[in-house]
Every structure is written in C-alpha cells, then in structure tokens.
Amino acid sequence: MGKAQASTEYIFLLGVILVILIPSVFYSLSKASQEIKASQLEEIAGRIKQSANFVYTLGPGSQEIIFVNVPSNIQSIALQNKKEFVIKMLSPLQSGVAASDIGISTLPYLIGNIVNTRGNHKLLVSSFNSTHVNITDFELIR
C-alpha cells in the first residue's frame, strides 16, 4: 500500500511541475522569438538608412547593393517620397493586425519598392539625382 501511495505522489508531483514548467517555457520561447524579430527589424532599418545616406552623400549615379533578411512580422516597408521610410509590424498576438509603425528618417527623399515577403532580399540602393534615392528589391533570393 505504501509503494502505491509513493508512486501516486511522485506522479502527482511530476504533473504539478509540468503544469508550471510548460507555460513558462512556452512564454520564454515566444518572448525570445519576438526579441529576435525586433533585432532583425533594427538591423533592416539601420542598413537601409545607412545605405541611403551613403549613396546620397556620394551623389547622382552612385549605387549600392545590400542584403537584408525580412522577418515574418513585417507587414510593409513604405518608401513614400519623403525623407523617411515607415516599417509596419504585425502584432505578435493577432496576425494581420498592425502593432506599430516605425518611422526612420534619412537625408534624401526615398522612393522605390521593397517586397515584404519573409526571407532574404537583395536591395539596389541608387541615387539618381541630387535629392532622391531609389531603393528597389533587386531580386528575391531563394
């Protein structure tokens, strides 16, 4: 009788530990995933800004190719003929719902198109006059 009771208590204790452990591990993994996507977003924004400013400083006719890895939580990257670009991120809890817009200012006016599909992209950043820089998704790398 004592052995059965000890086995039952161990199984009950194991169940309680798993009930506490599984949600905390799930939360930690989802938080880590969000942090990775946020750092990827910062990297994309920094590389685009740095490249646009660099090409603008060199003058008309200059161009540069940069490689970026677009994470899955980006809804769009808008270049709207302004001295900034806007990155719209999706909410981690509700897919399809914009969580926030991030505006990054640059020296030149930006025009062009960046595809928001997840994956590695090759961007052509070129200065075609003294005020505008064109950023185009050169090709999607698979």
Mean pLDDT of 99-114: 86
pLDDT at 94: 52
Cβ neighbours around 13 below 10 Å, total: 10
Domain count within the chain: 1
CA distance 8 to 28: 30
- In angstroms, the Cα distances linking 29 to 18, 32, 87, 116 are 16, 5, 24, 24
Question: CA 101 to CA 90: how far, in whole Å?
Answer: 9
**Structural domain of 31:** 2-140
Which is more confident, 82 or 139? 82
pLDDT at 93: 56
Range in 1-5, 93-97, 100-104 with the lowest mean pLDDT: 93-97
Q: 3-state class of 70 per DSSP?
A: strand
Residue 110: the pLDDT is 93
- pTM for the structure as a whole: 0.75
Residue 79: predicted pLDDT: 84
> pLDDT band for position 1 (50/70/90)?
low
Q: How confident is the model at residue 2 (pLDDT cuts 50, 70, 90)?
A: low
**Confidence at 127, pLDDT banded by 50, 70, 90:** very high
pLDDT per residue as tens digits for the range 46-89? 999 999 999 999 999 999 999 998 888 788 888 888 888 888 88
